[in-house]
Amino acid sequence: MPNIMVFIPAYRCEAQIGRVLNQFPPEVAKYFSEIVVVENRSPDGTLEAAKKGLQQIQGCKTTLLRNDENYSLGGSHKVAFNYCLEQGHDYLVVLHGDDQGSIQDLLPLLERQEYEQYDNLLGARFAKGSVLEGYSTFRTVGNVAFNKMISLVTRAQVLDMGSGLNMYSARFLKPRFYMGFPDDLTFNVYMLYYSIWKKVPMKFFPLTWREDDQVSNAKIFRQGWRLLGLTWQYMRDSQTLFSSIHQPSKPQYTSQSIPLAGSLAETSSAL
């Protein structure tokens, strides 16, 4: 089986990150070559909770990285994507550290080796077969309507603008096109639109998704306006939108590798 890395972004997830890491008993961990938590300078006890959870995993390599600055969610993705390429992994799975998604939803695709047919496997909360727990009807209807509008604009089937469980091939990430994308919560939307623009092989798959004790870092209405603005740019001229993105938002994205026992050891996740 190819080397598959799991990337878990973690920010203010002290209460949830342990539950996320508990999703990887040996019979699940065996599917993966490495599980990497990227901790984004949380003000709470997320770092220690992640360290404790990683120490309990058996069956694959575990790594804890802490960003040198708060790079936001998109910046943490850049750290992890660069690390994946530098370590020679073939695929990268994104599983958010807030315990809304379940790695179990991806396992059937791994068992069937279906992932080999695609550069992007994207979890979709609103796909047929998905189960939403604690999600209001208002939000569900609004998201479904928004996804239909985006599908019309992009001329591609879009079932979710960005969930917390996705899988990318290293061959897709290798050009490091993502380095010029914003570090904020629109990062996943840029990834989606870029994939559609490049016509890369992609597939949406259903999720089991829940909202319980998570801490939201998204300002919903502001985020909605930003998505509409980005969609308008894409609709007007997608070629210009992506060809104009060259320079990274920061000169470099670095992190510290935190041994699961002992002192800090520096690692690089630069350009």
Backbone angles phi, psi at 78, to 5 degrees: -65, -40
The mean pLDDT value of the chain amounts to 90
Give pLDDT tens digits for 187-204: 999 999 999 999 999 999
- pLDDT band at residue 14, thresholds of 50, 70 and 90? very high
Count Cβ atoms below 10 Å from residue 19 Cβ, excluding itself.
Answer: 16
Of the two residues 170 and 262, the one the predictor is more confident about is 170
Give, in order, the Cα–Cα distances in Å from 154 to each of 143, 149, 228, 268: 16, 9, 13, 36
What is the reported pLDDT for 230? 87
pLDDT 10s digits, 63-92: 999 999 999 999 999 999 999 999 999 999
Give the model's pLDDT for residue 244: 67
What would the two tokens of residue 201 be? 């092989």
Check pLDDT > 90 for residue 55: yes
| Per-residue confidence band for 12, with pLDDT thresholds at 50, 70 and 90 | very high
Is the pLDDT higher at 210 or at 74? 74
Categorize the per-residue pLDDT at 246 as very low, low, confident or very high, splitting at 50, 70 and 90: low
The reported pLDDT for the residue numbered 237 is: 86
- Which uninterrupted H or E stretch holds 92? strand 91-95
pLDDT at 236 over 90: no
Identify the pLDDT of residue 192: 96
Domains of the chain, earliest start first: 4-258 (3.90.550.10)
pLDDT in tens, 105-128: 999 999 999 999 999 999 999 899
Percent of the chain with pLDDT over 70: 91
CB proximity list for 254: less than 8 A, separation 6 or greater: 67, 68, 79, 268, 269, 270
Which is it for strands 208-210 and 131-133: parallel, antiparallel or unpaired?
A: parallel
Give the model's pLDDT for residue 265: 41
Categorize the per-residue pLDDT at 264 as very low, low, confident or very high, splitting at 50, 70 and 90.
very low
Residue 232: pLDDT band with limits 50, 70, 90: confident
